[in-house]
C-alpha cells in the first residue's frame, strides 16, 4: 500500500492501528490528478483488503516550472538534453490539456527510422 501511494507522489501523514481490532488507518495526501484509478490499483495490490476513501483536502502549488529546459553547461551535464522527461508539472499540464482537447507539444512520430513497416528485399 505504501508503494502505491509513493508511486503516485503521495505523502503519508499518519498511520494508526485501532485498538481491539485489526483495522489500520493510513492518512495520506495524494495529488488529484494521480488519484484516477487509485482505488482499483490499491485494491489490486492489497487483494481487496484495503478500502480507500478519497476526500478533497486542499490546493497545493507544485514549485516546478513546466517550461524549464537546461540552458547552462552545468545543467546539460547534470540533467542531459531530456531533462523534461521527469518534470511532473509538465506531465500534469499535458495530461489536462489532452483531456480538454487542447494542443499539446509532443512528437507524433518518435524514432521514425525504427517505425518502418516495409520489409527490405535482399
Q: What is the CATH number of the domain that holds 28?
A: 3.30.70.240
Instruction: State whether 33 and 71 are in the same domain.
Output: no
Question: Could you list the residue range(s) of the whole structural domain that residue 76 is in?
Answer: 61-107
Q: Are residues 71 and 103 in the same domain?
A: yes
How does pLDDT run along the chain (122 residues), one tens digit per residue?
A: 889 999 888 999 999 988 888 888 899 999 888 888 899 999 999 898 888 888 998 898 888 888 877 778 887 777 776 655 667 888 888 888 998 999 888 777 767 677 666 666 66
pLDDT, position 29: 93
Say whether both 72 and 99 belong to one domain: yes
Q: Per the domain annotation, does 115 fall within a domain? A: no
- Flag whether 103 is in a domain: yes
Q: And the C-alpha cell for 56? A: 478533497
- The pTM score is 0.64
Same domain, yes or no: 38 and 67 = no
Q: Do 38 and 73 reside in the same domain of the chain?
A: no
Residues 41 and 65 grouped into a single domain: no
Q: 29 lies in a domain?
A: yes
Domain count, the chain: 2
- b/e 98-119 (16+ beta carbons within 10 angstroms → b): eeeeeeeeeeeeeeeeeeeeee
pLDDT of residue 44: 92
Q: Does 28 map to a domain?
A: yes
- Whether 71 maps to a domain, the answer reads yes
Instruction: Say if residues 57 and 71 touch (Cβ distance below 8 Å).
Output: no
Amino acid at each position: 500500500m505504501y508503494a502505491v501511494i509513493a508511486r503516485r507522489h503521495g505523502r503519508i501523514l499518519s498511520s494508526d492501528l485501532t485498538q481491539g481490532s485489526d483495522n489500520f488507518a493510513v492518512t495520506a495526501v495524494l495529488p488529484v490528478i494521480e488519484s484516477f484509478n487509485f482505488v482499483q490499483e490499491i485494491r489490486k495490490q492489497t487483494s481487496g483488503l484495503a478500502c480507500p476513501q478519497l476526500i478533497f483536502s486542499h490546493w497545493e502549488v507544485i514549485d516546478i516550472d513546466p517550461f524549464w529546459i537546461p540552458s547552462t553547461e552545468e545543467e546539460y551535464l547534470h540533467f542531459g538534453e531530456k531533462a523534461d522527461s521527469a518534470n511532473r508539472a509538465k506531465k500534469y499540464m499535458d495530461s489536462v490539456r489532452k483531456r480538454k482537447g487542447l494542443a499539446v507539444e509532443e512528437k507524433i512520430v518518435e524514432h521514425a527510422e525504427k517505425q518502418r513497416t516495409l520489409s527490405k528485399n535482399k
